């Protein structure tokens, strides 16, 4: 199997992790304010005490599995762009791998937060909530609460793809709009909404770029 097709499967895996994340968020985690600035930390640690495996699974899927698949996609997409522009391919590869690293780190911290809060909760629920809140803030800073690195990577790949006709126009246009949405997470009043928009746009972009790479005749 070629690197291009492996990268396509990795992109589809990324889309699947996002879909899983949205599904769990909307069904089990949203009532606690998860994914918003109004999160109820006391409710979260109480949930962790009863069902820690749910958050471990969620964190591992949306962060760790996603990051590993993302790293493969970044390398494959850079190889796809390299024949058209070595410079753009190198920039996209560097930024993409930075994003994958940040996502992986966020997932590891998120899981440590669940484990530590769960161990403290029976004796001191308030301390558990405080600890989880601090670690959750670090998680969000690495990438769970903003999409800057991901937005810039998708923008770089999309600009290169459009400028050098290395990717279908539809893929590049979706990537451009998704990247702009990710950058908008920097604006506090619309951060939560922009983050959701980035996630939905990224799902579509991952599916489109995955399909393109799987069908690619590039021997790399």
Reply yes or no on whether the pLDDT at 219 is more than 70: no
Instruction: Give the burial class of 27: count Cβ atoms within 10 A of its Cβ; 0-12 exposed, 13-18 middle, 19 or more buried.
Output: exposed
Conformational region of residue 204, where left means phi above 0, alpha means psi within -120 to 50, and beta covers everything else: alpha
Joined together, the tokens standing for residue 150 give: 């991901």
Nearest to 62 by CA among 143, 8, 178: 143
More confident residue, 95 or 142: 95
In tens, the pLDDT along 40-81 reads 999 999 999 999 999 999 999 999 999 999 999 999 999 999
- What local confidence, expressed as pLDDT, does residue 185 receive? 81
How would residue 162 be classed by pLDDT, with cut points 50, 70 and 90? Answer: very high
- What local confidence, expressed as pLDDT, does residue 217 receive? 67
Reply yes or no on whether the pLDDT at 157 is more than 70: yes
- What local confidence, expressed as pLDDT, does residue 86 receive? 93
Reply yes or no on whether the pLDDT at 144 is more than 70: no
Cβ neighbours of residue 126 closer than 8 Å, sequence gap 6 or more: none
Please check whether residue 77 is in contact with residue 157, taking contact to mean a CB–CB distance below 8 angstroms. yes
């Amino acid at each position: 199997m070629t690197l291009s097709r492996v990268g396509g499967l990795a992109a589809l895996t990324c889309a699947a992790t996002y879909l899983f994340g949205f599904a769990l968020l909307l069904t089990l985690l949203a009532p606690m304010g998860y994914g918003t600035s109004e999160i109820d930390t006391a409710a979260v640690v109480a949930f962790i005490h009863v069902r820690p495996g749910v958050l471990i699974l969620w964190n591992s899927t949306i962060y760790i599995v996603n990051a590993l698949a993302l790293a493969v996609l970044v390398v494959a997409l850079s190889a796809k762009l390299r024949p058209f522009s070595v410079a753009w391919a190198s920039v996209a590869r560097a930024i993409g791998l930075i994003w994958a690293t940040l996502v992986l780190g966020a997932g590891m911290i998120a899981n440590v937060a669940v484990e530590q809060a769960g161990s403290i909760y029976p004796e001191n629920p308030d301390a558990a909530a405080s600890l989880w809140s601090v670690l959750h803030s670090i998680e969000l800073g690495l990438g769970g609460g903003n999409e800057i690195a991901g937005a810039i990577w998708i923008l770089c790949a999309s600009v290169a793809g459009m400028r050098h006709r290395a990717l279908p126009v539809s893929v590049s246009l979706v990537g451009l709009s998704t990247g702009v949405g990710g950058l908008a997470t920097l604006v506090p009043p619309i951060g939560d909404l922009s983050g959701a928009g980035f996630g939905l746009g990224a799902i579509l972009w991952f599916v489109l770029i995955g399909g393109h790479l799987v069908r690619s005749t590039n021997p790399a």
